[in-house]
Amino acid sequence: GDSVTQKQGQVTLSEDDFLFINCTYSTTTYPTLLWYVQYLGQGPQLLLKVTTANNKGISRGFEATYDKGTTSFHLQKASVQESDSAVYFCALVPLANYGNEKITFGAGTKLTIKP
């Protein structure tokens, strides 16, 4: 079955630091890759998605490149702010003939930004 690996359970940075969160995936399909962000007390919300291999997704200063060769979809941001503190989930959705399918999530990375 599909799987997503995020090994960094927690990351602590200072404001204006560079952020890099590792994500690798395994699937036999042609997936859409996603990053979701979850703030305290809320459900996950989509941060960015990429549907095509070797393309890049960019949103709110975050970016991730769908690298089919290395099966990776790392998240990065040049300069983090305190408001970026949240839990970040890498995820994939398989390509379906019709409509949507279930999301497979990674374990999540808790990001804490010190002011």
Partner 1 sequence: NAGVIQTPRHKVTGKGQEATLWCEPISGHSAVFWYRQTIVQGLEFLTYFRNQAPIDDSGMPKERFSAQMPNQSHSTLKIQSTQPQDSAVYLCASSLDRAGGAQDTQYFGPGTRLLVL
Q: Is residue 96 within 8 Å of residue 38, measured between CB atoms?
A: no
Which of the residues 27 through 66 are near partner 1 (CB under 8 A)? Answer: 32, 41-46, 49, 51
Q: Out of 3, 59, 83, 96, point to the residue binding partner 1 (CB under 8 A).
A: 96
Report the SS3 class of residue 83: helix
For the chain, report the end-to-end CA distance as a whole number of angstroms. 41
- Alpha-carbon distance of 79 to 93, in angstroms, equals 29
**Considering the rule CB under 8 A, would residue 69 count as an interface residue with partner 1?**
no
- Alpha-carbon distance of 103 to 96, in angstroms, equals 12
What the block records as the tokens of 115 is 């002011």
CB of 94 to partner 1, least distance (A): 9
**Considering the rule CB under 8 A, would residue 108 count as an interface residue with partner 1?**
yes
CB of 111 to partner 1, least distance (A): 16
| CB neighbourhood size of 95 (10 A) | 12
CB of 6 to partner 1, least distance (A): 9
Count of residues engaged in binding partner 1, rule: CB under 8 A: 25
List residues near partner 1 by CB under 8 A.
32, 41-46, 49, 51, 89, 93, 95-108
